[in-house]
Each structure stands twice: as structure tokens, then as C-alpha cells.
Copies of this chain bind each other. A is one copy, B any other.
């Protein structure tokens, strides 16, 4: 059963309505979120997730979220959780009621890890590349596009996943018209070349990944080279392994790209998973 907690720590019934129709989170997708992985009662990367929530709020000119509020709601979810050993914990923070006093709407929602995600973690996934339409330099010159903010306006991300399904795949690597790799609709892309891990920089118009950062920390400690730098789409085919990192999917392996089987990266996947696990 999902567990819903308000920012004051109150538990609410997630099957009952909580949001007014004039909440700007609903009416305009005007709000932000984070998804934190909780394993055996311990939230992972809590600090980086909260820091990113604060950055997203700043990019949207929203009031700064209170760490105490989200800690309280998080604790309430953990205290009331009766499900499996892992929780996908969502933090949501909207601009609040249209024409209201500016008080954001916030809550924390604990969900089971879906069977789909569990299967994908284990067996890997097929992905396609899709043009995101934005050149690699637009995020810097046009901050109003909110590239790099984790907003509730995810309709395009969801449409991209449906396009993937139409093409017999389950995931998407967004790319720029000028030939660079961006990210997945809900994850960070990591490309492995020998003992080097590469991921695109946030400046290209993507979210800095919390799970990717954890993996890079662990890998660097064990002597890997880790590079946050632009990756060309043409370089994907040369990689020894391609992986999506996100809180709920951890490190998920791509076995197929645009209909073509990738080289077997199960050994690399095991190694990255070991590195990721070593952080916790």
C-alpha cells in the first residue's frame, strides 16, 4: 500500500483526493519533484536529492523548500511503511493554489518499486534515441526553458516513452539536433569505455544525476576515470556498455539501441552494480 505524508508529518489516505483543481501543479504542471530510493528503511542520497529540489525551486522562482518539512514527511512515510524492502519515495512541491497566498503544496508519497523496474534492473532494456529538439547550447542562453529543473511538466518525457513502446523498446536516450547525448526521460545516461565512465554535463540542458554521482564517487575511489563531458551520439556505438542510472532503476543495462543488439555488457554491469552498492 502506498503511504502518503503531508509536510507537517500527518499521514493521509492516498486513495482519497488531496489536491484542489486550481492547484498550479495540476493546472500548469507548475511544480517540482524528486524521487528518493529507500532501502531497508534508509533513504539514499537524501542530501543531493534535497539540494536538487532547492535548485529546481530556485529555477522556478518558487519559495525555498524546507528541509525540516521534507525530513518530517519522509520519516512519517518510513514509520508507516508496511511494504517491501525498497520504497520509491516521491517528494512533490507545487506552486500552490492559483491566485492564492503563494504557499506551495507539498507531500511525500512512498510507493512500491514496480515489477517492470525490477525486471529491467535484472535483464536490461532496449532503448531508442529520440531528438529532444534543443541544441546543446540552449540551456545556457535560455534559462526560462527550465532545462535542468525537475518539474512536474513531464508530458513530453511520457510521450517519448510511448514512442519507444511503439518501436518495441522501453526507454529513450534524448539527443540534441546537433548530435549530442542528453539523458533518459527519467534517468541519467552513463557510457563506459574501458575503465572510463562518461556522462553528459548538466550545462547541456539535463538534470545532474544523484545516482550517477554516487556511482562516479565509488568508481573514482577504485581507480576508474570518471568524466562529466559531452558525449556524441556517434560515440554510443563504440561504448563497452551503456547504462541508465536513476534512484529507482539503480544501474540498468541497455542491451539494445535503436533495434541493434549492443555488445554484451553483463560483466561491466555487475562491476558497476558492485561499485554502486559499495556506497551504501
Contacts of A99 on B, CB cut-off 8 Å?
114
The smallest beta-carbon distance between A101 and chain B, in angstroms, is: 14
Size of the A side of the interface (Cβ < 8 Å), in residues, is: 59
- A10-41 interface (Cβ within 8 A of B): 14-31, 33
Contact of A263 with B by CB under 8 A: no
- Distance in angstroms from A155 CB to nearest chain B CB is 4
Report the separation of the CA atoms of residues A160 and B60 in the bound assembly, to the nearest whole angstrom. Answer: 10
Are A177 and B138 interface neighbours, CB within 8 A? yes
**A159 beta carbon closer than 8 Å to chain B:** yes
Which chain A residues (202-245) contact chain B, with CB distance < 8 Å? Answer: none
Asked if A191 is an interface residue, CB under 8 A from chain B, the answer is no
Chain B residues whose C-beta falls within 8 Å of the C-beta of A31 in the assembled complex: 155
A47-55, A128-136, A193-201 - interface stretch: A128-136
A72 interface residue per 8 A CB criterion? no
Segment from A74-82, A145-153, A253-261 that makes contact with B:
A145-153
Beta-carbon nearest neighbor of A22 in chain B? B14
- Chain B CB within 8 A of A189 CB: no
Closest to A165 in B: B61
Contact A155 B151, beta carbon cutoff 8 Å: yes
- Using a CB–CB distance below 8 Å, which chain A residues touch chain B? 2, 4, 14-31, 33, 59-61, 90, 92, 94-95, 99, 107, 109, 114, 130-135, 138, 141-146, 149, 151-160, 162-163, 177
The 7 closest A-B pairs by CB, nearest first: A29-B29, A153-B153, A153-B155, A17-B17, A19-B19, A29-B153, A28-B154
A sample of 20 more A-B contacts (CB under 8 A), given A21-B107, A99-B114, is A14-B22, A16-B20, A17-B20, A18-B19, A18-B20, A19-B20, A19-B26, A23-B26, A27-B33, A29-B152, A29-B153, A59-B159, A130-B142, A132-B142, A133-B145, A138-B177, A145-B159, A146-B156, A152-B153, A153-B156
